[in-house]
C-alpha cells in the first residue's frame, strides 16, 4: 500500500511526488488525463511511484488514515477534485490543497467537509519547481489533528531553517496556511519591487548590468543576504541566446501577477492594516503593464529623467543601506498583517514559527529572518520595528535611505517601493498624524462625529456657526 496520494501532475506535483519518493515514501499518483500519469510513471518508474487512474483507485491504494495532496490549479479545479475524491475517503483522512488557493475558499471547503470527519488542510508551499523537488517551505493550515498526520511527511520533504529544523509547520486553523503563503507572496512582491527600483537608479547612473550584478552579489554577502538578491545577480549576468547582449535588456517591462499580491492588499484594506507597500507593489506591476499609455505620456516629455546627483560609490553604499531598511519594513508589514489576521480569524498562528519556516526553501528566505524571529520571540507583536535591535538598525539606515530617495526623486525616477516603505516607517513612528483635520472635515460635511484628545465620548460640532 502507498503512504501518500498525489493528485495533479503538473511540474510542481511531479516534483513533490519525486521529493516524497526520494525520502522513502510510497506515492500513488493520479492526473485527470491518463497520458500525463503514464508519461510520468514511464519516465520516472521504479522509484516508489504507483499510478492510479481514478479517484477511487487513489483511495483504495492508500493506507488509513489516508494522506492526499492536491496540486491542481487554484479555483474550480480544486472543488472538482474534492467532489470526485471525497466520497471514497473516510473520517480521519487528510485531504490537503497545496496550491495557491484564496484562504476564503479554503475556509469554505474545510467547513463543508467538516461533518464528514475528513480533515481538510490548506497548505502554502513556497520554493518554486526547484523547492518542490529539493525542499520547499511548507505552511500547513487546518485542523491541528491533521498536522499530527502530516507532520512527518511534510517535515521530511521540506527545506531546513538556520538551526537545521524542518521548514514545515502548522500555522493555524482553516485558511491560515494559504493566508500565510499569501502574505509571503506580498513580501516577495515588495522585495522584488525594491530590487527593481535599485536596478532603475543604477541604470540612471549608467551602471552596466554586470556592474549592478556585482553590487547585488556584494550586498548578498552582507546583512541583506537573501535568495532574491542572489538570483537578481544571476539574472543580470544572463546573455540572450536569441540576439546577443544581456537578456534582461530584451525583456518587456510589463510585470504580470497571478493574484496573491492583490489578495494581500485587499486583506489589508479589509482588516484596516496599513501595509502601504503591499498595495503599492501590486499596483506598480499594474503601472508597468500600462505600457502603451506610458509610451504616449513619456513621448510628451522626452529626456525627462535626469542623472541623480549621486556619485557612483555613494549611490552603491546609500542604496545598499536603503535596501536593508526598506526590506525590514516590507517584512514588518507582513508580520503586522499576520498578527491582525490571526486576531480576526481566531487562528493560533505562531508568528515566530512563521519567521522560522521562511528561513529555508521559500522565495523570501533571507538572513534577516533570524533577527525577525528573535524579535517575535521576545514579544514584538505590535511591530517588529519596535524591537530595540531592529529599531536601532532602522535608525542607522535613515540618513542614507532618505538621501538616496530624495536624490532619485529629484531626478524624476519613480520609487513607489522605497517611498512607501519610508512612509510606513515615518507614519508608524509619528505620535500625532494630521488625521484630526480629516476627522474635522468629515464632521463638517457629513456629521460623522469625532473623538477628542481631552475627554471621553463622541462629539459633533455645528460648523456653520464658526
What residues line the site for ligand 3PG (CB under 6 A)?
Answer: 100, 185, 188, 256-258, 260-261, 363
Residues 6+ apart with CB under 8 A from 135: 19, 127, 157, 158, 159, 160, 167, 360, 361
Nearer to ligand 3PG among residue 191 and residue 404 (C-beta): 191
Residue with grid cell 498595495, as numbered in its chain: 279
Which among 61, 110, 173, 181 is annotated as catalytic? 181
Of residues 329, 331, 323, 332, the one with CA closest to residue 195? 323
Q: Which three cell numbers stand for residue 120?
A: 481538510
User: How would you label 302-341 residue by residue, b for 16+ Cβ within 10 Å and e otherwise?
Assistant: eeeeeebebeeebbbebbbbbbbbbbbbbbbbbbbbbbbb
Nearer to ligand 3PG among residue 128 and residue 274 (C-beta): 128
Residue with grid cell 496550491, as numbered in its chain: 99
Residues 6+ apart with CB under 8 A from 348: 144, 172, 173, 342
Residue 208: CB minimum distance to ligand 3PG, A: 27
Nearer to ligand 3PG among residue 98 and residue 154 (C-beta): 98
Nearer to ligand 3PG among residue 207 and residue 227 (C-beta): 227
Residue 202, Ramachandran bin (φ over 0: left; ψ between -120 and 50: alpha; else beta): alpha
Residue 345: CB minimum distance to ligand 3PG, A: 21
Which among 61, 110, 173, 188 is annotated as catalytic? 188
Residue 185: CB minimum distance to ligand 3PG, A: 5
Nearer to ligand 3PG among residue 55 and residue 136 (C-beta): 136
Q: Which three cell numbers stand for residue 327?
A: 526590506
Nearer to ligand 3PG among residue 256 and residue 456 (C-beta): 256
Q: Which three cell numbers stand for residue 401?
A: 535611505
Q: What is the DSSP string of 28-45?
A: EEE-SSHHHHHHHHHHH-
CB 400 within 8 Å of CB 318: yes
Nearer to ligand 3PG among residue 332 and residue 363 (C-beta): 363
Residue 346: CB minimum distance to ligand 3PG, A: 26
Q: How many CB atoms are located within 10 Å of the residue 405 CB?
A: 22
Nearer to ligand 3PG among residue 224 and residue 260 (C-beta): 260
Peptide bond into 429 cis (omega under 30): no
Residue 260: CB minimum distance to ligand 3PG, A: 5
Residue 128: CB minimum distance to ligand 3PG, A: 7
Nearer to ligand 3PG among residue 257 and residue 406 (C-beta): 257
Residue 39: CB minimum distance to ligand 3PG, A: 24
Three-state secondary-structure class, residue 47:
coil
Residue 139: CB minimum distance to ligand 3PG, A: 12
User: How would you label 363-376 residue by residue, b for 16+ Cβ within 10 Å and e otherwise?
Assistant: bbbbebbebbbbbb
| Distance, CA of 46 to CA of 419 (rounded, Å) | 55
Residue with nearest beta carbon to ligand 3PG = 258
Helix %, strand %, coil % of the chain (to 5): 60, 10, 30
Tell me whether residue 110 is one of the annotated catalytic residues: no
Of residues 335, 332, 318, 311, the one with CA closest to residue 420? 332
Residue 275: CB minimum distance to ligand 3PG, A: 17
CA angle 129, 67, 75 (to 5 degrees): 55
Residues 6+ apart with CB under 8 A from 217: 233
Tell me whether residue 239 is one of the annotated catalytic residues: no
| Active site amino acids | 181, 188
Amino acid at each position: 500500500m502507498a503512504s501518500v496520494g498525489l493528485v495533479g501532475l503538473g511540474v510542481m506535483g511531479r516534483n513533490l511526488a519525486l521529493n516524497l519518493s526520494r525520502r522513502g515514501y510510497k506515492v500513488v499518483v493520479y492526473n485527470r488525463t491518463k497520458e500525463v500519469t503514464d508519461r510520468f510513471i514511464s519516465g520516472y518508474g521504479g522509484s516508489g511511484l504507483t499510478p492510479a487512474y481514478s479517484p477511487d483507485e487513489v483511495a483504495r491504494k492508500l493506507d488509513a488514515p489516508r494522506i492526499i495532496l492536491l496540486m491542481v490549479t487554484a479555483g474550480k479545479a480544486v472543488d472538482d477534485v474534492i467532489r470526485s475524491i471525497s466520497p471514497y475517503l473516510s473520517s480521519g483522512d487528510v485531504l490537503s490543497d497545496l496550491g495557491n488557493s484564496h484562504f476564503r475558499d479554503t475556509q469554505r471547503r474545510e467547513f463543508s467537509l467538516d461533518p464528514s470527519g475528513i480533515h481538510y488542510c490548506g497548505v502554502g508551499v513556497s520554493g518554486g519547481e526547484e523547492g518542490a523537488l529539493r525542499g520547499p517551505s511548507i505552511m500547513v493550515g487546518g485542523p491541528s489533528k491533521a498536522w499530527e498526520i502530516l507532520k512527518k511527511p511534510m517535515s521530511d520533504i521540506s527545506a531546513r531553517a538556520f538551526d537545521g529544523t524542518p521548514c514545515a509547520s502548522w500555522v493555524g486553523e482553516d485558511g491560515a496556511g494559504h493566508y500565510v503563503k499569501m502574505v509571503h507572496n506580498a513580501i516577495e512582491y515588495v522585495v522584488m519591487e525594491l530590487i527593481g527600483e535599485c536596478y532603475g537608479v543604477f541604470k540612471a547612473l549608467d551602471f552596466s548590468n554586470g556592474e549592478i550584478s556585482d553590487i547585488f552579489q556584494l550586498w548578498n554577502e552582507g546583512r541583506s543576504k537573501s535568495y532574491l538578491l542572489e538570483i537578481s545577480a544571476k539574472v543580470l549576468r544572463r546573455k540572450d541566446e536569441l540576439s546577443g547582449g544581456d537578456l534582461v535588456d530584451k525583456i518587456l517591462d510589463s510585470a504580470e501577477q497571478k493574484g496573491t499580491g492583490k489578495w494581500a492588499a485587499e486583506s489589508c484594506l479589509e482588516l484596516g492594516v496599513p501595509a502601504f507597500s503591499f498595495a503599492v507593489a501590486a499596483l506598480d506591476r499594474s503601472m508597468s503593464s500600462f505600457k502603451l499609455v506610458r509610451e504616449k505620456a513619456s513621448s510628451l516629455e522626452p529626456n525627462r529623467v535626469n542623472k541623480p546627483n549621486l556619485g557612483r560609490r555613494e549611490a552603491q553604499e546609500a542604496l545598499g543601506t536603503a535596501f536593508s531598511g526598506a526590506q525590514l519594513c516590507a517584512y514588518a508589514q507582513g508580520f503586522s498583517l499576520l498578527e491582525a489576521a490571526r486576531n480576526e480569524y481566531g487562528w493560533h498562528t505562531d508568528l515566530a514559527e512563521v519567521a522560522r519556516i521562511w528561513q529555508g526553501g521559500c522565495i523570501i528566505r533571507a538572513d534577516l529572518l533570524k533577527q525577525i524571529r528573535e524579535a517575535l520571540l521576545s514579544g514584538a507583536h505590535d511591530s517588529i520595528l519596535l524591537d530595540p535591535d531592529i529599531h536601532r538598525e532602522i535608525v542607522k539606515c535613515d540618513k542614507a535611505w532618505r538621501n538616496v530617495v530624495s536624490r532619485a526623486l529629484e531626478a524624476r525616477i519613480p520609487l513607489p517601493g522605497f517611498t512607501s516603505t519610508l512612509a510606513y516607517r515615518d507614519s508608524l513612528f509619528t505620535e500625532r498624524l494630521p488625521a484630526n483635520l480629516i476627522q474635522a472635515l468629515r464632521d463638517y460635511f457629513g456629521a460623522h462625529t469625532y473623538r477628542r484628545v481631552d475627554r471621553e465620548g463622541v462629539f459633533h460640532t455645528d460648523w456653520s456657526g464658526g
